[in-house]
Structure 1
Amino acid sequence: MPDVQSTTPDVRINLTRVGVKNVKKLVEVSRPDKRPVIFISTFDVFVDLPGSLKGANLSRNFEVIDEVLQQAIDGDVKEIEDLCSIVARKLLDRHEYADRTEVLMQSQFMVKRETPVSHTSCHEVVTVHARAVARRTFREPIVRKSIGAEVTGMTACPCAQNIMKERAMYVLQDLGVEDETVEKFLEKVPMATHNQRGRGFLCIEIDDDQHLKLEKIIRILKESMSASIYELLKRGDESYVVLSAHNNPRFVEDCVRECAKKVLAEFSYLPGDSLITIKQTNEESIHQHDAYAERKATMAELFVELNGEHQ
């Protein structure tokens, strides 16, 4: 049968990305001395296409994905972002006409958690993002990969809390409570404020020979908000979470800045050109809009800014 994809198109224009989207796969990544990690994943896979070819051989994309997934099951792939980079490399081998390949992977990852007071076991679904881009060179391909996550948490508004604190001070003073007692009370009992459910996103792009732990990315995101949230809470847990959030009020901007600070501390070994993307969306409770903040910068840029802050 004739290979129609290899014929010359009527309009000879190069295409930036040609491929397949929404490829559903169950990804199993083995771990030493532990059960495998299971990701319910969706892949988008692309190659560039020269103007001399009518189409790309898309069946090769499916073949490469299945081949690399089998490698992961066999224990040859240890990290989810490595899976994407291996696929990107193999796509260059299979698509000899392509100079660039790109693999995007979005996964649902189930994390087992324990509540802070009653230690009740519960689960949380985390959205994991991975990506790899391979570029052909005269020698070995250049590959950049990224790994990231999106998690939910809770924030407490500092502005409204200050308003409520000022009101409490006036009320206590009108009731004849001494100023020293008022100060001690307000130190121990944080004032009410309105809350938001926050959605934090952190993604780090690195060279192919660098490695990151997904668990650290998830932890940084959670610690950058006012408090963590849980699917199941006993009364003691609920009190702990609410008190923790109100003792640690943060604006949406605070969450992004705190996340950047923690990334620098946790991943200080990364090269300066590692690209950091941080996004925070807070779903307001007393407004009909959402609050949003974002920062995209290299490790070197963040280092200079944060060090300059303390000079």
Structure 2
Amino acid sequence: MNETQSKKSLPSKNERHKLFGSVEPGPRTKPQEKSKMPDLQNTKKDFLFELDAVGISNVKHPIVVPSSIKPQNQTTIGHFYFASSISQESKGTNMSRFTQQLQAYYKKGFKVNIPTMKEFTKELQERLKQKDAELTVEFPWFFEREAPYTTEAGMNHADAWMKVMYHCEDGYDVKVGLNAKITTLCPCSKEISEYSAHNQRGNVMIEVTLDPSFNDEEIDWKALLIEAAESNASARIHPVLKRPDEKMVTEQAYENPRFVEDMVRLVSSDLYEMDMVQKFHVKCINEESIHLHDAIASITYDKRKEQ
């Protein structure tokens, strides 16, 4: 049943604000000009300890990701972390300088590659007037994948990241990495069963320290790392599979059984042969299909320690 009701007579917006707690502005006695404001963060005293890092994290910002695999230029969202160390004589840092510089690079078209990241980090160190600066960005990287028989194409993705540190005396330290999804088929299951074998979805995490002179405008590190993971798996992950494709993928997995131990050793071998890789960490986690637990294995190796 429809009931009639009288039209409301509302107070003005200003009166409504007062109703819910707003008050008139108080007296303004402190200066509004930046030049007259005290800068607490630039105070110089003995502040007891040097800080390892101070900065900002969980910064989301649009970026452009170049790729050697289609799509070649991807507009996506980067998750940023910015920091620098702080001397014992410095009280703190000016947090706005991080996002000011990010905005300046965005206006120029922030293409996330190693030359740009190195330029950004060195400029940040100079701007902060500290001995070092650090920049980390995480982003989804998309790449086209064709089915093995029909060549039907679809889009896969991997979570990638770049970390660049610059020290005014020691220079650059550049790390990159990604998480790749693969298929693994259990060698033990294949060996003991009359037919069939169980398989898993594997998660391969790769992080490498690159030679500081490496330029990813010439060689795409993302394509190299995804190939190192996928080419050593029982089979690759595909977004589109028709029946002839599925037959090929399942047979390929059966022909290439892999334990997690096998995976990290095979991927590490590929990384070891890459001249621009100085150090690597590889971890594989298999989400078991016949257990509630996961299987894991990892390797860390520093080629710089070799004689």
The TM-score range, normalised by the shorter chain, is: 0.7 to 0.9
> Rg larger in 1 or in 2?
2
Q: Which residue of 2 aligns with 1:229?
A: 237
Structure 1 residue runs of 4 or more that deviate by more than 3 Å after TM superposition: 8-11, 29-32, 68-73
Q: Write the deviation string for residues 136-184 of structure 1: whole angstroms up to 9, x where unpaired.
A: 22xxx500112221110100010111011xxx3xxxxxxxxxxxxxxxx
**Deviation of the 1:231 alpha carbon:** 2.1
Q: Which residue of 2 aligns with 1:101?
A: 133
Identity of aligned residues (%): 26
- Higher mean C-alpha displacement, 101-110 vs 49-58: 49-58
**Deviation of the 1:82 alpha carbon:** 3.1
Matches of 2:189 and 2:303, distance apart in 1: 34
Instruction: Give the secondary structure class of the aligned counterpart of 1:236.
Output: helix
**Deviation of the 1:278 alpha carbon:** 1.0
8 A Cα contact 1:85 1:208, kept in partner: no
Q: Write the deviation string for residues 46-65 of structure 1: whole angstroms up to 9, x where unpaired.
A: 11112222221111111222
8 A Cα contact 1:156 1:195, kept in partner: yes
Stretches of structure 2 lacking an aligned partner (at least 5 in a row):
1-36
Is 1:148 the counterpart of 2:154 in the alignment? no
CA distance 1:264–1:71, shift in 2 (3 Å): farther
CA distance 1:119–1:226, shift in 2 (3 Å): same
Matches of 2:163 and 2:117, distance apart in 1: 6
Equivalent runs, 1:28-67 vs 2, <5 Å: 28-29=64-65, 35-67=72-104
Q: Which residue of 2 aligns with 1:134?
A: 166
Task: Provide the TM-score with structure 1 as the length reference.
Answer: 0.78
Matches of 1:248 and 1:31, distance apart in 2: 29
Which structure dedicates a bigger proportion of its chain to helix?
1
Within the candidate set 112, 120, 139, 2:144 is matched to 112
Stretches of structure 1 lacking an aligned partner (at least 5 in a row):
169-190, 305-311
8 A Cα contact 2:46 2:89, kept in partner: no
**Deviation of the 1:29 alpha carbon:** 4.3
**Deviation of the 1:93 alpha carbon:** 0.8
Matches of 2:210 and 2:271, distance apart in 1: 13
Matches of 1:192 and 1:31, distance apart in 2: 38
Q: Which residue of 2 aligns with 1:244?
A: 252
8 A Cα contact 2:47 2:89, kept in partner: no
Within the candidate set 199, 202, 212, 2:203 is matched to 199
Matches of 1:278 and 1:237, distance apart in 2: 29
Q: Write the deviation string for residues 78-134 of structure 1: whole angstroms up to 9, x where unpaired.
A: x623333222211111011x2221111111111111111121111112111110111
- When the two chains are superposed, the root-mean-square deviation of aligned CA atoms in Å is 2.4
Amino acid at match of 1:38: T
In the comparison of the two structures, how many residue pairs are matched? 266
8 A Cα contact 1:85 1:131, kept in partner: no
Q: Which residue of 2 aligns with 1:90?
A: 123
**Deviation of the 1:8 alpha carbon:** 4.9
Matches of 1:235 and 1:125, distance apart in 2: 23
8 A Cα contact 2:52 2:86, kept in partner: yes
CA distance 1:299–1:154, shift in 2 (3 Å): same
Q: Which residue of 1 aligns with 2:23?
A: none
Task: Provide the TM-score with structure 2 as the length reference.
Answer: 0.79
Within the candidate set 124, 141, 163, 2:192 is matched to 163
Instruction: Give the secondary structure class of the aligned counterpart of 1:44.
Output: strand
CA distance 1:258–1:135, shift in 2 (3 Å): same
**Deviation of the 1:67 alpha carbon:** 2.8
